[in-house]
Amino acid sequence: MTENSPAPTSAPADSEQLHVFTTIDEVGSIEGRAFGPSTWRAIPQEDIDLYAQLSGDDNPIHVDAEAAAKSPFGGRIAHGMLTLSMVVPHLREIYKVSGTSTGIVYGFNKIRFPNAVPSGASIRVRGTVAKVEEIPGGWQVTLALVFEVEGATKPAVAAELVLRHYK
């Protein structure tokens, strides 16, 4: 059964948390459903440094405190792609399709980074099921996602994530 109900008492006090939890047999009925926000999760400098090392993106804006302090951001910021990659732990809280044999990230239709995430800042995710399409062996679901930065008016990321859920 599709569930889009208030979260347990651990939901953030400033908003109602909605979930989209459904089964592979009922995923065709979730188009248009809103979900989130997830809980806040910090992106500490240690994660930014590790991502820089793993990805090879060692732009000073991410890893050099002195250089970043002179930038328009006034300090080090998380990589946009690091922020985007945090989608998995956030979605696990607020979106789930059970009864699948497997699920994959098929890709992204659109990605924008309208705001920086300062080192140590917290982000959360909310979204809407934008489109559901039947595909051979399962469903393709497009989620319109927004990554919010705690205390900021503009989101860090706006993206359309395309998932495939197989029977």
Convert the pLDDT of each residue in 109-146 to its tens digit.
999 999 999 999 999 999 999 999 999 999 999 999 99
Q: DSSP strand E in 9-137: where?
A: 20-23, 34-35, 41-42, 95-98, 102-112, 122-135
Mean pLDDT, rounded, for 93-113:
95
At residue 15 the predicted structure's pLDDT band, cuts being 50, 70 and 90, is low
Q: Is the pTM above the cut of 0.95?
A: no
